Amino acid sequence: MNNYFVILGAGKSKRFQGKIAKQFYNYRNKDLIDHSIEKSLNSRLFKKIIIVTNNLKKFKKKKYDKSVKIIKGGKERSDSSLIALKYLRKFKPTNILIHDAARPNFSIRLLKKLINKLKKNKAVVPYVYSTDSIKYNFQNRLFNLNRNKAFLTQTPQGFKYNNLYKLAINQKNKITDEATLFIDNDLKVTFVKGENKNNKITFKNDIRLDKTTFGIGFDIHRLIKNKKLFLGGIQIPFHSGLQGHSDGDVILHSIIDAILGATQKKDIGTYYPSNKEKFKNIRSPKMLKPIIENLNRRNYLINNLDINLICEKPKVSKYRNKIINSLSNLMNLDKNKINLKGKTVEKLGLIGKEKAIASEVVISITKYD
């Protein structure tokens, strides 16, 4: 993996007409630029993530992974891009993705698609077709363009580093994206289908209103001998496991129920009935996977996941980090958005007698267009 990700965020955002540059505008409870930083980090596809900015003070209080580097940008977008390319030269990158901070809604799936296409191509650019009719003004005359033959390019855009660098250092004109360098030099650009949700935020009304909902999940299972114990998708060393038609993972089951509740989709038993033989002994990560995929298809973003694991034994603190890491991987979710607490019941009831384990979950999700 010799991939590098550059986020261009040095612009003044004149068209946005805000009190601050749009890349620092609060968007879904964080600075707009932080969405791109977080997704590129969570993708685990890049050796380094370079943020190009002209407001270094804004980043002094921010704490990022050591792979994130903040550098000062230039006057124009093309200047900032070239500064980043020159900075990265010492690392000898193979692939580089260049992205506008004003596009916070791209998916990790798009990042993977671009990098995969770079195995056999030197320039890979996402696009979407225009849904509007397009007019072209030439010498004060209007012409209609066939919108089926015109398309809109997006970022991130992927390139073989050496090819892009050679073009960038010799550029004479100001450019609005790196694909222009290849096109102006009659070099091949491979276009891949982009994402309609990956819109560029230019004006304030480009920021859409989002809907946030909450869900509550609960599950409890008896402990039985001669069965493996699974919690949060991992096996926990213990003398007993949880009884159930599946593997009995109460954490994943309560997460599924919480998600279904937040999206108004009934309960886990509707999708995985206990009287169906095909679900017998099914591992709970397989049950969670389509639920998460459905969230992504419907443009939901998980804001926070809070879990109470209720048991006398095993002690939650011993396995807390491993369970959180597992949940982060299974849900493609930042670990900072996951909280796991251990609770006892003061020796009361089945749980107090170490005959059962329960889990309760509260989840916050946001639906965006």
Q: What is the pLDDT of residues 257-293, one digit of tens each?
A: 999 999 999 888 888 888 888 888 899 999 999 999 9
Task: Write out the H or E segment, with its range, that includes residue 138.
Answer: strand 134-138
Which residue has 């989002």 as its token pair? Answer: 210
Query: What number is the average pLDDT over the span 171-190?
Result: 91
Mean pLDDT of 4-16: 82
Mean pLDDT, range 242-257, rounded to an integer: 93
More confident residue, 60 or 165: 165
Instruction: Say which amino acid occupies 123.
Output: A
Q: How many CA atoms lie within 13 A of 135 on its CB side?
A: 5
Please tell me whether the overall predicted TM-score, pTM, comes out greater than 0.75 for this model: no
CATH homologous superfamily for the domain 3-206: Spore Coat Polysaccharide Biosynthesis Protein SpsA; Chain A (3.90.550.10)
- Architecture of the CATH domain 211-367: 2-Layer Sandwich (3.30)
Q: What is the CA radius of gyration of the chain?
A: 24
Q: What is the pLDDT of residues 78-125, one digit of tens each?
A: 999 999 999 999 999 999 999 999 999 999 999 999 999 999 999 999
Q: pLDDT of 121-171, one tens digit each? A: 999 999 999 888 888 888 889 888 887 888 899 999 999 999 999 999 998
CA atoms within 13 A on the CB side of 18: 18
Residue 216 in this model has a pLDDT that exceeds 60: yes
Instruction: Cis check for the bond before 314: say yes or no (omega within 30 of 0).
Output: yes
Better-predicted residue by pLDDT, 244 or 156: 156
Rounded Cα distance, 17 and 34, in Å: 20
Q: What is the mean pLDDT of residues 295-312?
A: 93
Give the CA distances from residue 190 to residues 85, 99, 193, 252, 345, in Å, rounded to whole numbers and listed in that order: 21, 17, 10, 41, 60
> Which distant-in-sequence residues (6+ apart) come within 8 Å of 11 by Cβ?
21, 22, 23, 77, 102
- Give me the mean pLDDT over the 230-248 stretch: 92
Counted residue by residue, the chain has a size of 369
Do 3-206 and 211-367 agree at the fold level?
A: no
How many angstroms separate the Cα of 58 from the Cα of each of 24, 26, 67?
Answer: 8, 13, 18
- Mean pLDDT of all residues belonging to the chain: 91
Domain residue limits, the chain: 3-206, 211-367
Mean pLDDT of the 333-340 span: 94
Instruction: Decide if pLDDT at 300 tops 80.
Output: yes
Q: How far is CA 254 from the centre of its chain?
A: 23
Give the relative orientation of helices 284-297 and 316-331 as an angle to the nearest 10 degrees. 50
Tokens of 234: 């991992």
